[in-house]
Structure 1
């Protein structure tokens, strides 16, 4: 469902072709009986509309209601059924897991980055699921200092996530967050890096990150509501004091906003950001005076978004004020109100400005044009500007870790559907480029064996929808190839083409893989997002269907061999399109799918719900209710033949609660026609993002791939 639900599992796909070792057989399912969920009467009455919800009781594990135990029993029965139906693929799943794991370099190290005199990096060891977070002082030849041994910390936990690393300005203390439940609710800890001691300061229910003031003892962090998990307050903690008495320095009253706190790269300011889909506000404090009061940079205005970048002599403001694709303004350090803003980079109809990365003498401006990412380098000394050139049809480029302010080197990442993730250092003054590291595919990988295409499908209203496609050479466009189509299409999140070594296991078995860059994302500019949200949400679904039909008409595949996948808000997409065009797909995978739109958006106790009103609408208002009800997958299940369906969820998911997919599966089974299978797999230990270890998640990928390969009759 949600904005922070960027569950972008861009799983692989393929093209039929070629492999001599592909062994196709007829699809045979075991004679196993699917669980039948009990029906219990529950009525939703709103706006004069009465809607029965026979499976409402499945909320009880989340609500701690009387049917909590029955919910767990039902989910376990579904897991047993899925295991039985997929039993004949167990050997294939194990083979896929080892195959995909075998491509990952087990003993590896990230590219070190420099910050405040230290080089920071993480490294992994053979056979270990996690990593060590390390640093070296002054030189890469210096002795290694292991700051956190996450492999050791995670022992005994089925799930373990560490994040929000923040080192104090004097390099003595490390603040970090730990989540052991997978609900994105972190406990903050502080480690003395000189003594190795974990301080007594422990702060529960945070977003995981913290920001140091320049006094090296004051931390600012974001506190979460224990029920809704909304980010509600920014608090101030002083080392050695009781965190229960931490001062609230900002309390967000608008429950549709997300909030957060960060420090400017030049270390002069601490900034609080409060923003929703339509408006935002920034509050600022001098980092040298942590006990001071945050002041509003510019009071929030309806339908105006802005963010702030601090330079030596001025602030830059990235805003959509009378600029749909955003423009950049500038203002003096002591006069931040809007009446003092002056244009720095004008608005352009064909270019979306998405981010500014500041350095002492340069700016790196991330943009989108014609659906592709690009990076502009602008000198603050003379105002000249140039773009980096990449030379591929479909690719993704983005600023990487750039923690140092006073440098002429920008680090950026580059990838495409055929190019493994690559890290470059670029000298903005000399224009010299250095490849620091490219993802190694163990066992060998030759990009020349694969082909990528960029296509455009015509939507119902004539809009051209980009498609990124990859397959292995030898692919024949005769309509007999299996193809997996992926999309997301919400929150303005762009699904840019990137490399995935796991995907090779599909490509090498004859699949093609495609990404539909549908409206609701932001690939083609801000209007692309606005035309796929709220009362235009159905464009997202019809765009995806148009892309599927385009690929069928172009003989890339056929209805018998076309598959679809999406997760979270992309799972909503999957649920909607199989209601609207069930005949187009042979099988679909819906991961942690947001499919019970109306009921969830009516329940403000469900985490993050109120933050989403600007994305989906507020169903307490009748026009929004009617529109949401018209496409919500759970509301629109009908007595017709649906494609084969694999649904996955996590019992502890904080983004899309487990009961949405569970209710949906129960209703589909009770209503659908035909013999196609519906499988539900609930991970009883994890949440929205799946397993935390760097190998364990591949078991889920192996299950997904085995499901697709089984439907294609591919056994090896």
Structure 2
């Protein structure tokens, strides 16, 4: 198949200058002609000019798509209930909730004392805080134990470097302590005077120091804990019980939790279980014990309990939920009389409730297939209900409260869709596709009931396949703009996610990483050969690590796809993983491999999209990026697009669209993000219809 071109002959793409530079590589000499496009400061005038030229080229070349973009934006915006509010939750004497006001991008966060009939107190109006910023993202928002103070973190750039702010709720007086470049999470000490947070390294942005700060003006933060191993991500949070503060340390294959009394965090944090290579665990306290989710002798995890000061002694472990080969224990939450467990079976997420004494057990599964049951939980362990959300591809997210005493459920909220939406007009299915090595890959499909799966409809197929992350079936009102135009949406649950347990993840990382790509290509082939999709109407999309997937299929199997959309794609993986100064590199050696080791170098070099571009025809491609991205640096997609154009033997358009005031997640604000979605949909719709 030769994809059509939508590139008018009068418009030519930007051609950045080639400045060959040898990049140190233990596996051999590598020369990068576009290395100079990397500018850590984001201030190089030539680099900025090139990115702006790319944006102009995209806008001018696709000018004919602008009316469609505007129409798509209007459709998606019209489905949003603009004055919506989230369900309230009770915590420490107050009902907390967030609401949106018509026409505004950000939420207003509120509370009412004792009852929802009490006067509303506005804790934080993110619309006001965002004023004057092209980008705004709220991180953590924590009320002090005495209910008098609000602490929050905010990112005004998109770089995921947050700053701390504190507000006295009675007066509204707000301070911004001299603390920035921190992670979003916070934890109050019991005295409501001191806060714990995680400071990031200035270069790598790796959180490596836990600091304790008094909220009094002029106070200097005190170092509480410093992590020397740069393979670990770090977090801090207060236990639901309020008894402890936890420091969490997580590498790909190893974790460690440290705890201290919330009333004396300065006393130091002791490990619940000292780290051991290959042992992953997490913790919540219950009564006088801690409950531990551990993968020791249990690849899919099991649940245990032990006294916190004796949990390091395996002889003190009491098993609560044993390991199962067919079920991944994904998460849990402790209540006074009950244990709530998230478990994944055959790729689908569900919830199990179990009395601590074992006298009662309940399974809560979705009302449709595919579906997912997400444990939302409640702030207080004494709550008489467990809150969960049910999501399917055809039905808006529905939130329920499950009554623990009676087993009944109460509908709390279903996300509204404005307009004439009827879930009965849409259908989904969950099928299994056998790939080349015999593995069975689950695939979710979504379409209108009047759109037959007979090969006549175009399909937009997405995948991810990394970090054990699962693309759970969930509703999106934005997708209706494609579905109502006769499209099918597909999700390939490829290896590298944890859909079928830990083994599914392990089979898609390190030396087994190529399975991720093969799974996606084989699913693509099967959808065509089984007559679900026309051979010339399969479109692929993926972001971040899913963008890496898009980069590989573009090199390996370009003729299969009518178009490819790669968003913030991780495509220069070999160069990045050879540079420990780049954020995330050192944390991810156990995910991708350390290319300083010859065997890892060979594996990565064999699939790295930037290193495997070849002289061939490429399909039309839309590549998006964020200048301030700290997860996938902007220069990766920028260099990739330039090199692709150097080697392509056809005239299919390859576009780069860079958000100049955003990072990895794109624009902030619920309406601003719709412009990006409308742009992406307009691209695939135009390419499906011959370009233009």
Q: What TM-score, normalized by structure 1, do the two folds share? A: 0.94
Counterpart residue number, 2:8: 30
How far did residue 557 of structure 1 move? Answer: 1.1
Counterpart residue number, 1:273: 248
Residue 336 of structure 1 pairs with residue 282 of structure 2? no
- Equivalent of 1:52 in 9, 31, 34: 31
Moved more, 326-335 or 304-313: 326-335
Q: 1:379 to 1:401 in 2, by over 3 A?
A: closer
Counterpart residue number, 1:263: 238
- The answer on whether the counterparts of 1:236 and 1:246 sit within 8 Å (CA) in structure 2 is yes
Residue 503 of structure 1 pairs with residue 479 of structure 2? yes
Counterpart residue number, 2:672: 696
Cα shift readout 1:309-330 (whole Å, capped 9, x = no counterpart): 1001311111111111011111
Partners of 2:192 and 2:90 in 1: CA distance: 19
- Equivalent of 2:373 in 381, 397, 402: 397
SS in 2 for 1:402: coil
Q: Which runs of 5+ in 1 are unaligned?
A: 1-25
How far did residue 446 of structure 1 move? Answer: 0.6
- Equivalent of 1:120 in 81, 88, 96: 96
How far did residue 456 of structure 1 move? Answer: 1.0
Partners of 2:112 and 2:239 in 1: CA distance: 24
Residue 533 of structure 1 pairs with residue 512 of structure 2? no
Partners of 1:28 and 1:241 in 2: CA distance: 59
Q: 1:556 to 1:577 in 2, by over 3 A?
A: same
- The answer on whether the counterparts of 1:44 and 1:50 sit within 8 Å (CA) in structure 2 is yes
Moved more, 378-387 or 306-315: 378-387
Q: 1:715 to 1:426 in 2, by over 3 A?
A: farther
Alignment RMSD (CA, Å): 1.6
Higher relative contact order at CA 8 Å, sep ≥6: structure 1 or structure 2? 1
Partners of 1:523 and 1:262 in 2: CA distance: 27
- Matching of residues 554-703 of structure 1 within 5 Å: 554-703=530-679
Counterpart residue number, 1:253: 228
Q: Which runs of 5+ in 2 are unaligned?
A: none
- Matching of residues 180-579 of structure 1 within 5 Å: 180-199=156-175, 201-240=177-216, 242=218, 245-339=220-314, 340-579=316-555
Partners of 1:445 and 1:357 in 2: CA distance: 35
Residue 151 of structure 1 pairs with residue 127 of structure 2? yes
- The answer on whether the counterparts of 1:477 and 1:554 sit within 8 Å (CA) in structure 2 is no
How far did residue 361 of structure 1 move? Answer: 1.3
Counterpart residue number, 1:8: none
Cα shift readout 1:373-431 (whole Å, capped 9, x = no counterpart): 11000112444211114331101111115111111201111111001011111112211
How far did residue 63 of structure 1 move? Answer: 5.1
Q: 1:124 to 1:143 in 2, by over 3 A?
A: same
Q: What TM-score, normalized by structure 2, do the two folds share? A: 0.97
| Matched pairs, number | 688
Please list every run of at least 4 consecutive aligned residues from structure 1 whose deviation after the TM superposition is greater than 4 angstroms: none
How far did residue 700 of structure 1 move? Answer: 0.6
SS in 2 for 1:49: coil
- The answer on whether the counterparts of 1:592 and 1:658 sit within 8 Å (CA) in structure 2 is yes
Partners of 2:405 and 2:555 in 1: CA distance: 55
SS in 2 for 1:343: strand
Partners of 1:350 and 1:549 in 2: CA distance: 28
- The answer on whether the counterparts of 1:190 and 1:202 sit within 8 Å (CA) in structure 2 is no
Moved more, 220-229 or 385-394: 385-394
Partners of 1:372 and 1:622 in 2: CA distance: 38
